[in-house]
Amino acid sequence: MSVIQGAPRGVIPGHLLKGQKALVTGANSGIGKATAIGLGRAGADVVVNYVAGRGEAEQVVEEISGFGVRAMAYEADVSQEDQVVAMIERMVQEFGTIDILVANAGLQRDAPFTEMTTAQWQKVLDVNLTGQFLCAREATKEFLRRGVVPEVSHAAGKIICMSSVHQLIPWAGHVNYAASKGGVQMMMETLAQELAPHRIRVNAIAPGAIRTPINRSAWDTPDAEKDLLQLIPYRRVGDPEDIAHAVVGLASDLMDYVVGTTLYVDGGMTLFPGFATGG
Ligand code: BGC
């Protein structure tokens, strides 16, 4: 069977998010980078947050500027309250407001359970969960202040939490990461319930195995990739663009009635592929 192996290209409609202001955290590499570029391609002005890697962030800004929209790199550690507050304040000063938050910044600090240090546990919870909480809270204050502007969007704001298939699939050797993503799911659903009456839509995307630096060892040799593909019924490793496309769609008014949902973008990884031939 001859099949295309990568994410579809050239499928983002250029005016879908015209006039909207988006913040993507952790946007200097991987999923965040592709997402920031995708939002820019769809017509949004974009703040490219990063914590390290200014050069890469500036390159993302340059690429986004090529779409005729505004982009700005901003350094902030999402786990630090004062830095998050300052980032949203600056964005509102520069761009006027925020319409879309993609709470994407995340990391792994893997270790077998009895070897996992408290520092490894805490770091992952701080960035992956507290970071999303802080960014969501500060963005929500601005959504509530501004309210709905019908010419821009049917919603007063959209929050997209970057979760993982590991909000559902337990993951030995990664208890800090899996716990953080389980937390993201319940945080997202609770915020969705609390904020929906204000026309703020909170949703999550749960990527599967996406070809990024975070999981390089899982795909960068033919043997590793072969093992990984056993876990993916669609039989291709995801590209960051696969996630960017989902974010653009979910952030747009095409999905205005989608509230409190996790969209799994995983090539079927959560379908218990082991049972295709067993059970
Ligand atoms: C992790 C990756 C992993 C993928 C599928 C992601 O959330 O960050 O390291 O490859 O889940 O297991």
How is the chain split into domains, by residue range?
21-212+238-270
| Candidate list 50, 74, 177, 264, residue with the active-site label | 177
d(CA 175, CA 121): 8
In a mutational test of the pocket of ligand 1, which residue from 177, 214, 242, 271 has the highest number of ligand atoms less than 8 Å from its CB? 214
Q: Can you give the pLDDT of all 279 residues of the chain as single tens digits?
A: 678 789 999 899 989 999 999 999 999 999 999 999 999 999 999 999 999 999 999 999 999 999 999 999 999 999 999 999 999 999 999 999 999 999 999 999 999 999 999 999 999 999 999 999 999 999 999 999 999 999 999 999 999 999 999 999 999 999 999 999 999 999 999 999 999 999 999 999 999 999 999 999 999 999 999 999 999 999 999 999 999 999 999 999 999 999 999 999 999 999 999 999 988
Contact 132, 107 (CB under 8 A): no
d(CA 178, CA 184): 10
71 forms bridges with which residues in the sheet? 46
CA-nearest residue for atom 10, ligand 1, is 209
- Tell me, yes or no, if the pTM score tops 0.85: yes
pLDDT tens, 34-70?
A: 999 999 999 999 999 999 999 999 999 999 999 999 9
Please give the structure tokens belonging to residue 56.
């890469």
Contact 203, 161 (CB under 8 A): yes
Task: Count Cβ neighbours within 10 Å for each residue of 142-159 and write b for 16 or more, e otherwise.
Answer: bbeebeeeeebbebbbbb
**Would residue 177 show up in a list of annotated catalytic residues for this protein?**
yes
Rounded to the nearest 5 degrees, what angle is found at the Cα of 8, between the Cα atoms of 166 and 6? 65
Q: Which CATH class is domain 21-212+238-270?
A: alpha beta
Is the C-alpha dihedral spanning 230, 233, 234, 238 positive or negative? Answer: negative
Q: Side chain identity at 139, as an amino acid letter?
A: A
